[in-house]
Chains A and B, each alone.
Chain A
Amino acid sequence: MIEPHAAGAATLATPPVAAAAAAAPDAPGVEALVDTFIAAHPGGHERLIPLLHLLQERLGHVPFEAQDVVADRLGLTPIQVFSVLSFYHFFTLTPRGRYPLKVCMGTACFVRHATRLIETIQDTLGIDVGDCTPDRLFSLEQVRCLGACGLAPAVMVGQDVHGNLDTKAMRRLITQLRSQGRREAVAAAKETPRG
């Protein structure tokens, strides 16, 4: 099932960052994140969504253990946190990839064959919508309008929007992101030498 392009991923040592995200998020780390945020932003329950944003960004997802910490610090119960989290598709319970590929399925992108981009990603990475590659580098999601209809069809990767994509450009983007991930992993490994 592994596509030729994915073979590269197999040779790539698991990047340290991805490894951190892959490991069960250790509770002290989450607690430190949440406590720092709480200290910097005095207030009440209105801090729930910004906190969930922060955790989604840092951890790649918001697991139940992290939700418990949020509930405890904000004086909510766990079900109240999950209720909000499950309402918004932005928050996920399973890890997102380091490069979450958000394919726009808004009207403009849809008529300009966004489905082909989905198919290309599925073929190249071997993952379905909602899934994450085993190396946690990529995940695939469909989103509603990104507000970049002029660039249709568009894909958002993290904070960056890539527009006017066709099948070939999509493959090129994936290759490019993969090598970028490898470079960053090597750099990170140099910075923090590990025994």
Chain B
Amino acid sequence: MATLDPIEVMVDGHPVTALPGTRLLDVLRGLGLRIPTLCHDDRLTPYGGCRLCVVTRRDGRGGLVLACSTPVLPGMVIETHTPEVVEARRQQLQLLLLNHRLECPICDRRGDCRLQELMFEHGVSEQPYPFERPLIPRDESSPVITRDPEKCILCGKCVRLCDEVQGVAAIGIVHRGLQARVTTLLDRPLDCEFCGQCVNNCPVSALVARPYLDDTPAWLREPATTTCAFCSCGCQVTGETWNGALVRVTGAGVDEPNRGKLCAKGWLGWDVHHAPDRLTHPLVRRDGRLMDATWAEALDAVVGALRRARDAGHRIVGLGGSRLSCEDAYAMQRLMRTAAATPHIGLGPAGGARALVEGMGALTGAPRSTATFDDVRSADVVLVLRGDPARTHPLLKTELVQGVTQRGQTLVLAHALSGPLDRHATLRLPVHPASEAALLHGVAARLLALDPGLASRVHGIPGAGEWLASLAAYDAETVVRQTGLDLTALDALASVLGHARTLATAVITGLGIPGDEAAVTRAAVALDALVGGRGVMVLGEKANLQGVIDAGLHGEWLPGGRPTASADARAEVGVAWGQPVPPPAPVPLLTAIQADGGDPVGVLYVAGQDPAGAWPGGLRGTEAVAAAAFVVVHDAFMSDTAQQADVVLPVAILGERAGSLVAADGVRRPLVRLEPPPRAVPQDRDIFREVSARLGIAMPEEAALVAEMEALCGWPRPRASVQCLVPAEPPAAAAPIDGLLLDGSPQVFRSGSITDHSARLQELSPSVAVKLSRREAAELNIGDGDTVLVSVGDRAALLRARVDPEVRPGMLVAPWRARWGTAASRMIPGDEPAHAHIRRSS
């Protein structure tokens, strides 16, 4: 664009250059000038509500102008601190006080209030106008959030964040003049996603979070920024502590990737630290019962079992989880590969592991995403596959909402489930469950039919010919049958992709999402190569999926993305460790755990997963745990696996840990300890190091271990690119749909075993229930609160029904796992979609 030549403006008598179209406020702040604002937020479109950012314009239509909503123009003459500017701000502050009950000394926000700061700076202490402030009672009817309309200065930040960023628009400003106030429809209690952005961005204390109300003034609280560990977005959050206790959590300012944004889990879920059912003592099974034990006894039992199994040549299996930090995962695989001398390690069915290893890894040679949040932000078309990020990855959802509402991004949503993002999608493709890969192959074939020249884009890539040939099986008729979409929808997608200047693809993963995540990922990578997209981002279900794989906790991958199959790579790592590295296992980890082929598991060492409680029934996790001769579990809670274990070792979780996480964007971010764990339980790696030492192989101490890991892993890892293509799998015979699709994938307030233990999140999420659409409710004569029998094949569960208008007809939504009894996880056999029947039983 030719208009991007810098222009010159005068600011306070000095010439300044700026890019045309820039807002005056950004130019002035870029010069280091202090321009006060209350309603402005970089993440929102300009509003001009508080009118504190006024500056004097001397040229053209002179006078006071709003810096936040005025673009710079050539030859502008601006003065920022004239007497009239200061006086205008003073008067404006006094006017704002018309709406604000002044009680600064006892206010929750004292010392942390933008209004208070500005009043102090401008010498304003009260409002001189002869008006009575309207008396409006405080609203405490909502969960978590209290609204105090008498303190609200109507900056509208909460309303605009809720709409433009969160995409929920649960609140609005109603009425006008002195009657104007922020409220919900008919003043009902809030029924929203409780992301907390309204509370965290309120410049005053009109919105406060009851869990974080405390008497400690801001200047006594100690802030520390850490990485949220509830999903793989890698959000930076600030925890404030007082006397060693966590008293408040907010989004961390302007830090990437979330820039202050939060979700319910990252905002409120930290009460898990103090959950009453936290494990604080090691447990050892004696005479068939798990009993409290000392650390020495527990470690002796673990070491004894490992030594016996190792020396007897029995199979030892190390099952890690993507909640582990990089350091913990590194220590675990080092223990398993050296002291326990077993190749059977990995993540099993952890959400996203197969997408990264068998999806990305198969085509790029590196188990990593090829796109980042920046690619998703800057692409003009974003394709989201398999699930609704509002339920699984809330930060991605806010980026997409902002893309659509603020930047005119085209959002294509292709999955079978229901979710809050549906409302914002430019193109919503409600495909049959598990048919996303068929959709991608079909649209690739269609694009090639429209423009055969496209094939030249992939010609240089090995395997391209076979891939192109395999697409022939995906003719329009087949794709229509597989996906349940009509031809118009397929053409609409082809048109969007054909016209996309830049495309970014996001693959959502999580236990309970139907379909083969690896196949969808491969299809997405191939399509991305065909249309010249920015890349594919795989969003792992849990926080550190990428980091755990980078650290080598996977049978096929050594630290730093070195393939275990390569003897050179094993030798290189072996030199660093001073120990030989075993070659890859002859069978996949899942087979090893299930002990198929008659080779029984001597020791099953589980850290960060719950095969007995959280795996789909079809994977036979419960049976595998029961069959293993000796089971060791690291967990913070008494999971189903822990209940069957021989030794249970309590560990630190979430903000009790130090170390690092690698988010879905491939960036490694620090974990900073916010508060100590109960009874000083160790981190996972402290246990692994001790066990390794007792088995005769001493691991380096903390600093040396981290240095060794960093040297091997080489973060930041370079961006991967497509190295080869593989043929599309032949179309599956379309399975007849019998009954309703049972959706057990993560929900907004409930995303796994940890969130189940948060009392605050439990308050927000309905009690264990199966949600159904209005249509099914009417057809089957089921009402809110009825007890219903849900069955998949011969597996059934009694659940409470809840009619939810957000649920798409033809589906049932049930929690994957619930604290008091499992729901969907036991009924859903595996990757394939589960079709359920439901009937009223009361």
By a beta-carbon cutoff of 8 Å, the part of chain A in contact with chain B is: 64, 75-80, 82-83, 86-87
- Cβ contact within 8 Å between A87 and B185: no
Most chain B C-beta atoms within 10 Å of own C-beta, residue among A75, A79, A83, A87 = A79
Chain A residues, Cβ within 8 Å of B174: 79, 82-83, 86-87
- By size class, the interface of chain B is 10 to 19
Q: Does B171 contact A (CB under 8 A)?
A: yes
Shortest beta-carbon distance, B142 to chain A, in Å?
14
Shortest beta-carbon distance, B778 to chain A, in Å?
16
- Cβ contact within 8 Å between B172 and A82: yes
User: A-B pairs with the 10 shortest C-beta distances?
Assistant: A83-B172, A79-B172, A77-B169, A79-B185, A86-B174, A78-B185, A86-B175, A87-B176, A80-B169, A83-B174
Chain B residues, Cβ within 8 Å of A86: 174-176
- Cβ contact within 8 Å between B169 and A76: yes
- Cβ contact within 8 Å between A80 and B172: yes
Contact of A83 among B168, B173, B423 (CB under 8 A): B173
Kindly state the separation between the CA atoms of A80 and B184 in the bound complex, as whole angstroms.
9
Instruction: Give 13 A-B contacts (CB < 8 Å), ordered by A residue.
Output: A64-B186, A77-B170, A77-B172, A77-B185, A78-B185, A79-B169, A79-B171, A79-B172, A79-B183, A79-B185, A86-B175, A86-B176, A87-B174
Kindly state the separation between the CA atoms of A13 and B174 in the bound complex, as whole angstroms.
39
Supposing A86-B175, A87-B176 touch, asked if A80 and B163 sit within 8 A by C-beta, the answer is yes
Shortest beta-carbon distance, B423 to chain A, in Å?
6
Task: Other than A76-B169, A79-B169, A86-B174, give 13 A-B pairs with Cβ distance below 8 A.
Answer: A64-B186, A77-B168, A77-B185, A78-B185, A79-B172, A79-B174, A79-B183, A80-B163, A83-B172, A83-B174, A86-B175, A87-B174, A87-B176
Kindly state the separation between the CA atoms of A78 and B423 in the bound complex, as whole angstroms.
14
Minimum CB distance partner of B186 in chain A: A64
Chain A residues, Cβ within 8 Å of B163: 80
- Cβ contact within 8 Å between A79 and B184: yes
Kindly state the separation between the CA atoms of A79 and B182 in the bound complex, as whole angstroms.
10
Minimum CB distance partner of B175 in chain A: A86
Chain B residues, Cβ within 8 Å of A87: 174-176
Kindly state the separation between the CA atoms of A79 and B174 in the bound complex, as whole angstroms.
8
Kindly state the separation between the CA atoms of A72 and B356 in the bound complex, as whole angstroms.
39
Kindly state the separation between the CA atoms of A77 and B423 in the bound complex, as whole angstroms.
10
Kindly state the separation between the CA atoms of A12 and B6 in the bound complex, as whole angstroms.
74
Contact of A75 among B171, B175, B176, B423 (CB under 8 A): B423
Kindly state the separation between the CA atoms of A87 and B172 in the bound complex, as whole angstroms.
11
Most chain A C-beta atoms within 10 Å of own C-beta, residue among B163, B172, B176 = B172
Minimum CB distance partner of A76 in chain B: B169
Most chain B C-beta atoms within 10 Å of own C-beta, residue among A75, A78, A83, A86 = A83
Shortest beta-carbon distance, A95 to chain B, in Å?
19
Chain A residues, Cβ within 8 Å of B172: 77, 79-80, 82-83
Kindly state the separation between the CA atoms of A64 and B174 in the bound complex, as whole angstroms.
14
Kindly state the separation between the CA atoms of A64 and B163 in the bound complex, as whole angstroms.
20
Kindly state the separation between the CA atoms of A83 and B156 in the bound complex, as whole angstroms.
12
Shortest beta-carbon distance, A52 to chain B, in Å?
14
- Cβ contact within 8 Å between A82 and B185: yes
Most chain A C-beta atoms within 10 Å of own C-beta, residue among B169, B183, B184, B423 = B169
Shortest beta-carbon distance, A46 to chain B, in Å?
15
Kindly state the separation between the CA atoms of A86 and B183 in the bound complex, as whole angstroms.
12
Interface 1/0s, chain B 420-462, versus A by CB < 8 A?
0001000000000000000000000000000000000000000
